[in-house]
Chain A
Amino acid sequence: MKYPLLEVRIVTKYFPGVVALKQVSLTLEKGEVLALIGENGAGKSTLMKILAGIQQPDLGKLFWNGKEANIDSVDAAMDLGIALIHQELNLADNLDIGSNIFLGREPRNKLGIINRRQILEESIKVLERVGLDFDPNTSLTRLSIGQQQLVEIAKALSMNAKILIMDEPTSSLSSKETARLFEVAKDLKQQGVSVIYISHRLGEVKELADRVVVFRDGQNSGELSKEEISHDRMVQLMVGRDVSRLYERTSHAPGEEVLKVTDLATPAFPGQKNSFSIRAGEIVGMAGLVGAGRTELLRVLFGVDDAVSGAIEVGGNPCHFHHPKDAIDAGMVLVPEDRKGQGLVIDWPLDMNGSLPGLDQHLKRKAFIDKKHEVQTAETMIGDLNIKTPNRKQILQFLSGGNQQKVVLGKWLALEPKILLLDEPTRGIDIGAKEEIYHLMDKLAAQGLAVLFVSSELEEIMGVSDRALVMHEGKITGELPRSELSEESLMQLATGQELAATH
């Protein structure tokens, strides 16, 4: 009888006060790419930690090639051949490729000195397997993030990995690097290496996976074979309900022009002048590849960076923003890309974060904080935006990404802005919260706000925008009304090509 390479049988895992995994099972064959999907908190990372030997199951068993396996340490997992590739790369960027691959297990000669030649020989072998054509002496800093990731994979292969677990591997990769990664995964398949692939990007899952296992709330929610994989099916299993309403919109007629940008050039692309305008009640999506200059544009609009040239008009008045405060006073606010670093003070409670931008507009006796107003703002935010939190004093670090994002939005909405800028608004957020944010954007537009959002998910651009601007290397290459939005047209403009002749 043929056994699967790995079997997880009815595993349960408890943490203080919560059941992280409830009787989950899965199997993995040799040379198979298995995608594991589910909302944040569904239990995917917990199971991967168990497989990597970082945690142990409380109930249930693991089987390797039919034989019971007790993975009680990271070493035990590595001995079996299970390698976990983290989202944040575990490489030393002050060393070269070869040193990184053998970090911690450098082959030594009899005198105890590192055997450099063996490192070079062995490194070349594994680098070939992942298709990286670099001299192992090359410093790691000369590699792009995508290439560094391939070094991590090479490292795992040099430890004879039979299973590679990849957790959100493409979140910081360009689309070219993602395509490369997929090629490598397919090559590894043929070499007999199995891959467990965790991702929120369902499009990628569809392209790469042989099979999909879905977790929901710590339990198995379903499995899809290659033929059965579809976006809607996956979402349905992840959320447990029909989410075809994900991009449901109300119709809203755009009003007056609120933002007009003329010949604006950012410090990152000083030669590229861009002009566009946004009207009240419109949702404009900004598409483009990573590095196209969209975030840079938002930063100039919000006053974080100074424009190299060009003019900005808000509500018909010419503006010169030198600091975010200027933009905020003009009615334009930004939900930044980096929630933890720029959007919020993560160690602070919800109410203090919520009141921060508006403190100087509600002064008690000219200098004192109006506590009552702070409480009111927090309670209103929690209610209107449906923020899941035990109370308004909860430290934001303990809220989920989706709820944190709602706090960022809430603190701005309290100021009644005219223009809402959003940079990757649903990055790192599970599908349930995504839906809420899309509905919120729709509602705000209906109320008369102008919304400009940057997104790297084509599906999101197509689903939410009234029209889309596409950027390529610092220049807006085209504009597409909702009726003409398609993956092909967006991708063409994003890669700098002219649009194919319209039908």
Chain B
Amino acid sequence: MKKLLGITGLFIAIFAFTAYQQENFVSARNIENLLDRTGLLGILGVGAAFVIITGGIDLSIGSVVGLVGCLLPMFVIDQEMPVPLAIFLVMLISAGIGLAHGLLITKLKLQPFIVTLCGLLIYRGIGRFLTADQTMTFGEQHKGLREWATGNIDLPMLTASKGFSLPMPFLILFVLMIIGSIFLNKTVWGRYLLALGRNEQAARYSGIKTERLTILAYVICSTLAGFGGVLFMLDLNSVQPSSHGNFYELYAIAAAVLGGCSLRGGEGSIVGVVIGMGVLQVLKSASLFLEIPDQLEFTIIGSVILLGAIVDEVAKRVVHRMRQAKQHS
């Protein structure tokens, strides 16, 4: 809880500071953009959170986004598949990737880092090979679908007066956040996931089918990566197979960590991931508006995450010491 308040405060601080410096930071256009980016990347972050909670990691998220960005136009345009079928197939492939990760990790006991790092390389290569590095685009086709998936929803009052409408990706993220949060905190499976991340052996000795659950986490992560990939493709409508999705996993993981997921596993908050992604995006936007050279963009983001991790660790020790003092009284 405290952590969520902390990063919300951070978000507000960065937002307020930049708004004070640059008035047009608070324009409708800019906020829409912020919510749009947060939505798209946030979906990836939610997937990453599930895997991190089990104590694992997924470095292939960006490459799955890239691969989907290549396959979807290929299926729809080259193969002339009906759009729903193409989307279904692409999601199935993403889920399959997650299943493969999960099986390698649970049955062969390979380390998640290695498995997904190789995935990062392999899927990128496949995408590039299949498209011969050609830029993929829908062109002017399927405009309706594209607008529906990534356009904006008019909101009563706000749209009329301020010209602000809610980007669809953010709405999708919001719904995902609610579902994910309820799943993690209120359902039996979520509790099992937290137990398995905290102490896998003890979870198994309590009758929890840890292997199945771990595989499920990886399937969720890759499926959401695929889903995000579909939305990205529709949004950008121009995908470079060699670079589309690059570094997205880092954003996803960073948001998860900022939002309270410990890389050791066993704890995390889906709401935190969303707020965390918001912080990352507002930072990026702020650097732009404050005319900080964009070479420093990564430096700033990295520093903020590091600062967040330091504060978290120090706070944990202070709380631990306070608890111990209470024990002895």
**Residues of A that sit less than 8 Å from B by CB:** 15-18, 302, 304, 323-325, 328-329, 334, 336, 341-348, 352, 356-357, 359-360, 363, 367-369, 395, 398, 411
Specify the chain B residue showing the minimal Cβ separation from A299.
Answer: B205
B187 touching A16 by the CB < 8 A rule?
A: no
Interface flags for B195-223 (1: CB within 8 Å of A; 0: not) read 10011011111111100000000000000
Contact of B206 among A17, A324, A347 (CB under 8 A): A324
Contact A367 to B188, CB < 8 A, known contacts A324-B207, A325-B207, A357-B207: yes
Distance in Å: Cβ of B93 to nearest Cβ of chain A? 28
B206 touching A357 by the CB < 8 A rule?
A: yes
Contact of A16 among B191, B208, B266, B329 (CB under 8 A): B329
CB of B325 within 8 A of chain A?
yes
Distance in Å: Cβ of B184 to nearest Cβ of chain A? 11
B187 touching A344 by the CB < 8 A rule?
A: no
Among B131-159, those with CB < 8 Å from A are: none
Contact of B327 among A324, A328, A398 (CB under 8 A): A398
B186 touching A369 by the CB < 8 A rule?
A: yes
Contact of A342 among B192, B202, B325 (CB under 8 A): B202
Specify the chain A residue showing the minimal Cβ separation from B328.
Answer: A17
Distance in Å: Cβ of A251 to nearest Cβ of chain B? 33
Question: What are 19 residue pairs bridging A and B, where the CB atoms are less than 8 Å apart in the complex?
Answer: A15-B328, A17-B327, A323-B204, A325-B208, A325-B209, A334-B205, A341-B202, A342-B205, A343-B205, A345-B202, A345-B203, A347-B198, A352-B191, A356-B203, A357-B207, A369-B188, A369-B191, A398-B323, A398-B327
B187 touching A368 by the CB < 8 A rule?
A: yes
Interface flags for B8-32 (1: CB within 8 Å of A; 0: not) read 0000000000000000000000000
Roughly how many angstroms separate A395 CA and B201 CA in the complex, as a whole number? Answer: 19
B204 touching A369 by the CB < 8 A rule?
A: no
Contact A368 to B186, CB < 8 A, known contacts A16-B329, A342-B201, A345-B195: yes
Roughly how many angstroms separate A49 CA and B266 CA in the complex, as a whole number? Answer: 34
Give me 14 other A-B pairs in contact (C-beta within 8 A), A356-B203, A360-B188 excluded: A15-B328, A16-B324, A323-B204, A341-B201, A342-B202, A343-B202, A343-B205, A348-B198, A356-B191, A368-B186, A369-B187, A395-B323, A398-B327, A411-B206
A16 touching B325 by the CB < 8 A rule?
A: yes
Roughly how many angstroms separate A35 CA and B129 CA in the complex, as a whole number? Answer: 74
Roughly how many angstroms separate A398 CA and B320 CA in the complex, as a whole number? Answer: 11
Contact of A328 among B192, B207, B266, B323 (CB under 8 A): B207
CB-defined contacts of A368 to chain B, threshold 8 Å: 186-188
Roughly how many angstroms separate A343 CA and B195 CA in the complex, as a whole number? Answer: 12
Distance in Å: Cβ of B215 to nearest Cβ of chain A? 14
Distance in Å: Cβ of A366 to nearest Cβ of chain B? 9
B328 touching A344 by the CB < 8 A rule?
A: no
Roughly how many angstroms separate A356 CA and B203 CA in the complex, as a whole number? Answer: 8
CB-defined contacts of A15 to chain B, threshold 8 Å: 328
Q: Which 9 A-B pairs have the closest CB atoms?
A: A17-B329, A17-B328, A325-B207, A328-B207, A18-B328, A16-B325, A357-B206, A359-B188, A342-B205
CB-defined contacts of B188 to chain A, threshold 8 Å: 359-360, 363, 367-369
Roughly how many angstroms separate A343 CA and B199 CA in the complex, as a whole number? Answer: 10
CB of B189 within 8 A of chain A?
yes
Roughly how many angstroms separate A157 CA and B10 CA in the complex, as a whole number? Answer: 57
Specify the chain B residue showing the minimal Cβ separation from A355.
Answer: B191
CB-defined contacts of B327 to chain A, threshold 8 Å: 17, 398
Contact A324 to B205, CB < 8 A, known contacts A16-B328, A345-B199, A359-B192: yes
Roughly how many angstroms separate A442 CA and B49 CA in the complex, as a whole number? Answer: 46
B186 touching A344 by the CB < 8 A rule?
A: no
CB-defined contacts of A360 to chain B, threshold 8 Å: 188
CB-defined contacts of A325 to chain B, threshold 8 Å: 207-209
Roughly how many angstroms separate A325 CA and B203 CA in the complex, as a whole number? Answer: 11
Contact of A356 among B187, B201, B206, B328 (CB under 8 A): B206
Distance in Å: Cβ of A334 to nearest Cβ of chain B? 7
Roughly how many angstroms separate A345 CA and B191 CA in the complex, as a whole number? Answer: 12
Roughly how many angstroms separate A245 CA and B324 CA in the complex, as a whole number? Answer: 35
A346 touching B328 by the CB < 8 A rule?
A: no
B209 touching A323 by the CB < 8 A rule?
A: yes
CB-defined contacts of A345 to chain B, threshold 8 Å: 195, 198-199, 202-203
B199 touching A356 by the CB < 8 A rule?
A: no
Distance in Å: Cβ of B209 to nearest Cβ of chain A? 6
Specify the chain B residue showing the minimal Cβ separation from A394.
Answer: B327
Distance in Å: Cβ of B14 to nearest Cβ of chain A? 32
Roughly how many angstroms separate A22 CA and B104 CA in the complex, as a whole number? Answer: 58
Contact of B204 among A324, A347, A359, A367 (CB under 8 A): A324
Roughly how many angstroms separate A345 CA and B203 CA in the complex, as a whole number? Answer: 8
Distance in Å: Cβ of B45 to nearest Cβ of chain A? 24
CB-defined contacts of A395 to chain B, threshold 8 Å: 323
Roughly how many angstroms separate A359 CA and B196 CA in the complex, as a whole number? Answer: 14
Contact A367 to B328, CB < 8 A, known contacts A342-B201, A345-B203: no
Distance in Å: Cβ of B62 to nearest Cβ of chain A? 32
CB-defined contacts of B325 to chain A, threshold 8 Å: 16-17
B198 touching A356 by the CB < 8 A rule?
A: no
Roughly how many angstroms separate A325 CA and B205 CA in the complex, as a whole number? Answer: 8
CB-defined contacts of A359 to chain B, threshold 8 Å: 188, 191-192
Interface flags for B205-244 (1: CB within 8 Å of A; 0: not) read 1111100000000000000000000000000000000000
